[in-house]
Amino acid sequence: MKKIKAGLIGGAGYTGGELLRVLLGHPSVSIEFTYSRSQAGKPVHTVHHDLFGTTNLLFSDRFDSPIDVLFLCLGHGESKQFLAEHSFDPSVCTIDLTHDFRLNSAASIGNRQFVYGLSEMHRNKLATAKSIANPGCFATAIQLALWPLAKTGNLQEAYVTGITGSTGAGQSLSETSHYSWRANNIQAYKTLTHQHLAEISEQLQEAAGSDISIHFVPWRGNFTRGIFISATLRTSLSLQESTALFESCYLAAPFVSISKDPISLKQVVGTNRALLQLEQQADCLVVHCVIDNLLKGASGQAVQNMNLAFDLPETTGLQLKANFF
């Protein structure tokens, strides 16, 4: 079978490293180049040490090899500039992992119109997409927790808290991503103003066909990877009815599971999976969701979207086991 030829722009960061790890194990993909201005000419494993002994791939200063899919793993704001300065054949599927094209008001550049890439919500659109805007990590977890309620008219307002590991802040060091600050410490940040709120609200309101209020308080956690969110809302549904709604909504979603037992980060870190758990007292419903911020929240979902766009089984190359112990 002919392999999909893939190219990466900006492969030296966390999401680039995770994307390389997944693609190197993907049976239908050949990596043609990994472009990095800062690391050009160096072996990939000198930056991503977990790939030592796995690949002899070098970072490249060129990106002119023929490809079928292009992954943009740049800093936020840089993908739009990159595509404005460089042109690619319209047949090349472009998957952007930044926030540059996630909102409807910013979803086009030149002749490219980006489709919002939350795989479970937009599977049909992604099957024919040539430009895909990968969702944010918190946005993925929160939307998976609320989408079934929104699309059935059972969501008007939700209060969400969520905690993320240090890799969510990217590879560049700052005071709050440094080990000495994170260890034995947590902190709320960007209270009610987090950048993912715009895409969350836009997508859920489109699903509901009405206004929805989402109030979000994110937390910095003292661990490296993973996201745990809890969404609290009022509902007229019983817990049994809500659970049945979620199970029906995600029946054909291979990476989303509904648990009746308490869920934890260790169940999903290292995987492309999302676990949901529902709890209820009277008319107050809480929906918990856990994902790996670098996989289901970024690189894993990008590969899932590639699989959909190239008519491959959704799970191809993504059957990854959690490091539970």
Catalytic machinery residues: 137
Report d(CA 47, CA 16) in Å as an integer: 11
Give me 124's structure tokens. 């049909």
One-character DSSP codes across 61-80: S---S--SEEEE---TTHHH
One-character DSSP codes across 227-288: EEEEEEEE-SS-HHHHHHHHHHHTTT-TTEEEESS---GGGTTTSS-EEEEEEEETTEEEEE
Instruction: Tell me how crowded residue 254 is: count the other CB atoms within 10 A of its CB.
Output: 16
Our separate counts of H helices and E strands in the chain read 8, 15
Name the one residue in this structure whose structure tokens are 């969501």: 155
Residue type, 97: L
Instruction: Tell me how crowded residue 163 is: count the other CB atoms within 10 A of its CB.
Output: 22
Nearest to 315 by CA among 253, 260, 229, 241: 253
